[in-house]
Amino acid sequence: MDQANRSESVFQHPLLRRITLIAIFLLALGVRLMDLTDLPVDSTRELYSAKRARGMYFQVATDIPEWQRQIAIEQWRETPVIEPAILESLVSFTYRLTGPELWVARIYSILFWVVGGVALYLLASRLTTPDGGILALAFYLFLPFGIIASRSFQPDPLMVSLLIWFLWALERWSRFHTWKAAFLAGLLGGLSILVKTTALFFVVGSLLGIAFSLFGLRRLLRNVQVWVILVLICFPSGIYYFYGLFVEGVLWQQMGGRFAASLLVDPLFYLNWAGKIDQVVGYIAFTLAVLGLFLFSPGRARGMVAGLWGGYLLYGLIFNYHNATHDYYQLPLIPVVALSLSPSIHPLTSKLLETWKKRSLPRIVVILLLAFSLLMFGWEARRVLRRVDYRPQAEFWASIGEQLNHSSSVVGLTSDYGASLEYWGWTSITSWPSSGDATYQEIFGGTADPFLDEFTRLTAGKRLFLVTDFDEFDRQVELKAFLQTNYPIFVEGAGYIIFDLEPQP
């Protein structure tokens, strides 16, 4: 235990600490369970996982119409394969008890995220003080973006949880150097990377940081346990990607589009990256967390956290396009910032306890401030969750699916590449590219086809053209004019318009 842990802290008394922790975890669960059955229409990525889980379930279900079974299985198999379907398999199995309810996945993600908080508290308390552990835990569980994102149906909450448990196990190994501790750390690190490959940067970074601080470069290279941990870290995902790339060949389509060298010299990339950091953790917390690195005791604690920050920097540069455009790619930053903030609370609380003769008073003040902050953060998350009821969207997309007669002979300009229509409308479509897709293609060195060539290619053999994203429709002036000039309206309703690409004589 570091020297700071031996001095008095606000939450040093075991009973007070237990009560505070129980209250934090219960409140964190409670705020996440609000509006549990609302739809995940705010994330295209969530609907990818939803289609995979539904297809897996419908493959074995017996009480559904055959046409829905066929569509669900087809959508599952056509959904891009990225990570192994660990969460989707767990959810589809649970569907046998609950039916295909999306709140099942939400509960799993919530539990994964909150359980990760246990490891974060244990780790931060070990590296700093009980006060630091509670500060890290409170930040991790009540950051408004984290509350919303930890409810999502995608692998990230599970990956983040396993990453934190790996850090806990790694710190434990750094103290005991037993083979059991080494195997546990390697197993947890390997699982986090298997769930989502982006964990690799944080897992390897923290391992190298703590190992280098313990052994130095020469002894590190000769340490058998370090090499065993590294092998275990890479083994599960190595098997998965070898099989997916060279046996089934289904992962090649996902290997591109992550790194663009041109972005490294583009100032806009760094501004967008900074914008995502602000959106997820906030500039103030990020800045204090970077400074907090230097408050850790020299040695393994500082080495681990420095390795995490080095891994994050490399991660942001290699996955540069996604880090600048996808907010959920910043989720691993949340525990890194939370852990880095943990040593900053001790100088303040220790000074308060030294200054006041009646030490109960500063304890009461700190507890009240903590309670107020958590309630305000929880209320803000509640406001966001209650602001819009997305449930009517299911009926909206179902009605469009009926208008389209669940035909796959449809091209669509929608805000989520047709994911909502496919899931709730039981209709698979060919997605018309957005203006953002053209920018993406340009960044990665591609060139867009001339409009008529693109239109002819995508609409070949198609019967209808659906438009629901009217802001994007207005931006694509050429497409809008071409459709309105050459094709009659098949049907039009509130929030959608369908053009007939093959009008009847």
pTM score of the predicted model:
0.94
| Rounded Cα–Cα distance for residues 449 and 312 (Å) | 36
**Structural domain includes residue 505:** no
Phi/psi at 490 (5° precision): -75, -50
Least confident window among 163-172, 255-264, 481-490: 255-264
Helix (H, G, I), strand (E, B) or coil at 166: helix
Token pair belonging to 254: 């996902």
The pLDDT tens digits of the residues spanning 206-244 come to 999 999 999 999 999 999 999 999 999 999 999 998 888
Domain identity same for 159 and 144: yes
Beta bridge partners of 498: 466, 491
Domain identity same for 78 and 137: no
Percent of the chain at pLDDT exceeding 70: 94
Q: Output the CA–CA distances (angstroms, integers) from residue 456 to 427, 438, 482, 505, in the order listed.
A: 21, 17, 12, 21
Q: Does the structure show a pLDDT above 50 at 3?
A: no
Domain identity same for 80 and 216: no
Domain identity same for 317 and 400: no
Q: Does the structure show a pLDDT above 70 at 263?
A: yes
**Structural domain includes residue 357:** yes
Scanning 223-359, the segments in alpha helix (DSSP H) are: 224-242, 267-280, 283-292, 300-318, 320-325, 333-341, 345-355
Read off the pLDDT band of 4 (50, 70, 90): very low
Domain identity same for 50 and 30: no
Full residue range of the structural domain in which residue 85 is found: 44-101
Average pLDDT over residues 465-489: 95
The pLDDT tens digits of the residues spanning 372-390 come to 989 898 888 888 888 888 8
Q: In this structure, are residues 304 and 171 in contact, taking their beta carbons and an 8 Å threshold? A: yes
Domain identity same for 242 and 378: yes
pLDDT at residue number 357: 61
Q: What is the full DSSP assignment across 322-345? A: HHHH-GGGGTTHHHHHHHHHGGGH
At 203, the amino acid letter reads V
pLDDT at residue number 257: 66
| Dihedral angle computed from the Cα positions of residues 91, 97, 102 and 105, in that order, rounded to the nearest 10 degrees | -30
Read off the pLDDT band of 12 (50, 70, 90): confident
Residue with the larger pLDDT of the pair 171 and 2:
171
Domain identity same for 158 and 208: yes
**Structural domain includes residue 484:** yes
Domain identity same for 492 and 422: yes
Average pLDDT over residues 246-275: 82
Mean pLDDT of the chain: 91
Domain identity same for 382 and 398: no
- Name the domain boundary from 323, 353, 386: 386
pLDDT at residue number 504: 56
The pLDDT tens digits of the residues spanning 391-414 come to 899 999 999 999 999 988 999 999
Q: Does the structure show a pLDDT above 60 at 1?
A: no
Least confident window among 324-333, 356-365, 428-437: 356-365
pLDDT at residue number 255: 62
| Rounded Cα–Cα distance for residues 416 and 495 (Å) | 15
Torsional sign, CA 263, 266, 271, 272 = negative
Q: How many domains does the chain have?
A: 3
Q: What is the full DSSP assignment across 438-503? A: HHHHHHTT--PPPHHHHHHHHHTT--EEEE--HHHHHH-HHHHHHHHHH--EEEEETTEEEEESS-
Domain identity same for 64 and 136: no
Q: Does the structure show a pLDDT above 70 at 42?
A: no
- Non-local (6+) Cβ contacts of 112 within 8 A are 150, 157, 158, 160, 161
Nearest by Cα to 45 from 254, 355, 243: 254
Residue with the larger pLDDT of the pair 1 and 215:
215
| Rounded Cα–Cα distance for residues 226 and 222 (Å) | 8
Beta bridge partners of 138: none
**Structural domain includes residue 284:** yes
Q: In this structure, are residues 420 and 43 in contact, taking their beta carbons and an 8 Å threshold? A: no
Domain identity same for 340 and 416: no
Average pLDDT over residues 337-363: 82
CB neighbour burial string for 105-135, b if at least 16 within 10 angstroms, e if fewer: bbbbbbbbbbbbbbbbbbbbbbbbbbbbbbb
CB neighbour burial string for 226-262, b if at least 16 within 10 angstroms, e if fewer: beebbebbbebbeebeeebeeeeeebeeeeeeeebee
CA 442 vs. chain centroid, Å, equals 26
Angle made by CA atoms 48, 54, 55, in degrees to the nearest 5? 90
Average pLDDT over residues 41-49: 82
